[in-house]
Amino acid sequence: MDNQLNVEPCIAKSWTISEDGLIYTFNLREDVFFHLHEIFENGTRAVVARDFKYSFERLVARETAAPGAWVFQKVKSFEATNDTTFIICLKEPFTPFLGLLTMKYCSVVPKEVVETLSDQFGRNPIGTGPFKMKLWVDNEKLVLLKNEQYFEKENGLQLPYLDAVAISFIPDQQSAFLEFSKGKMDFISGLDAGYKDELLKADGTLQTAYKNGLTLNTLPYLNTEYLGINMQSKHPALQNKNFRQALNYAINKKEMVKYLRNNIGTAAQAGMVPNGLPGFSKQTDYGYSFNSNKAKALIMESQVDLKTMPILDIVTTANYRDLCEYVQNAWQKVGISVNVNVVPSSHLRELKANGEADIFRASWIADYPDAENYLSMFYTNNFTPNGPNYTFFSDSTFDMQYQEVRRNVDEQKRMALSVSCDSLVMHHAPVIPLFYDQAIRFYHNSIQNLEGNALNLLELKNVKKL
């Protein structure tokens, strides 16, 4: 993916897609080599099409038990016709498929090294990337060295520019920030509550003390933070569409982002498809901007008796207690009694998967940059545990339009269908989008060319350090 989330050539220098959208034929480069390893007869060897056939079949093999096996659930077969031609046949058309192939699950690995190292391959990986493994000490440090035979160049110069990359594992975020402020680390990402006010002003800009030495980089991040509502809940009020809509209107999301996130993020006043993704609509006619009077009116229309209604329960983890307590306070202002139940993340996952949480805090980070990825959360056939539909939302009109989003190759039609699907979901309100996240990175001014895109992957091949 480039910075605008367009698929671009890498080891596959070109490709064609059949008119029916079922056959993808890739033409591979001939100058790509695996990292050096003693198992190779000559220290290394060129990557060929059968390496992709092996790597992808390994990903979906039951004995591998790979968490990324779902990437190829729509694939019928893989075929290497010669060293430079690789063909993937799909069971059905799936327009976002090229985006799936950019995921790290789809990295190519050498069969002879994998089979020789067996279960130790994960600790000693061999690939084709700009950096290669040197050292990995659990909970301490990971060191990567420059791959001297990496195949990409920039303006005729060999990539990568950096000689090595050291990654420190510091569980305490405040300790990590202290090391960063001392100049012992070049880069940190994310906004932890322990240091957010030290680094940022309320408006999200750098504090004056750090302006001369640090760079703050923010960009849209394909992550929607939301509250999910169990549509199969036995709580009577949650079965009422007007009441669910009222829950949305009652929250001042702009204020929440300003005071709890230092303006890092965008109030979610459209749908589930986030800012930064094609298919995101800036129109708010199907979203929910703050309107407490509207919330109260909808509660009246719902005929829910707030005095006799069972207390609502929001299940969350400790990291998001402040957000949920903000929501709790907002709902109490319109007369709704709410309890915030803080549980370990493993227990929250279990409650969601079993449909035992009435309202739960969650986030959806895009696996690949397509609105379809977010819409899949509401497809009837994706009810958990078979898929990501944790709200158990089901609507025949949505299902029909969603299937067309998956198949249609016309981007304008797909975008219109995506907006329509998102609008329909928000009308029924099985979710309460809170904010669209932003990737936030801090690094010293000695670091140059550190770019990114809305997937927030750390790409270091073009980075220089002065």
Domain ranges of the chain: 12-123, 221-438
CA–CA distance, 238 with 331 (Å, rounded to integer): 14
Specify the DSSP element, H or E, that contains 256: helix 253-261
Query: Within a 10 A sphere around the Cβ of 233, how many other Cβ atoms?
Result: 19
Percent of the chain with pLDDT over 70: 98
* Mean pLDDT (the chain, rounded): 92
Give per-residue pLDDT as tens, 302-350.
Answer: 999 999 999 999 999 998 999 999 999 999 999 999 999 999 999 999 9
* Structural domain 12-123, CATH architecture: Alpha-Beta Complex (3.90)
CA–CA distance, 422 with 374 (Å, rounded to integer): 9
Token digits for 214? 């640090």
pLDDT > 60? residue 133: yes
Give per-residue pLDDT as tens, 338-349.
Answer: 999 999 999 999
Alpha-helix residue ranges (DSSP H) falling in 80-139: 97-101, 111-117
Give per-residue pLDDT as tens, 56-93.
Answer: 999 999 999 898 999 999 999 999 999 999 999 999 99
CA–CA distance, 166 with 145 (Å, rounded to integer): 9
Residue with tokens 């940190």: 188
Which pLDDT score, from 0 to 100, does residue 279 have? 57
According to DSSP, the residues that pair with 435 across neighbouring strands are 225, 267
221-438 falls under which CATH superfamily?
A: Dipeptide-binding Protein; Domain 3 (3.10.105.10)
Are 28 and 101 in contact by the 8 Å Cβ rule? The answer is no
Percent of the chain with pLDDT over 90: 74
* 107-116, 272-281, 365-374, 428-437: least confident range: 272-281
Are 457 and 178 in contact by the 8 Å Cβ rule? The answer is no
Instruction: Give the pLDDT band of residue 278 (cuts 50, 70, 90).
Output: low
pLDDT > 80? residue 99: yes
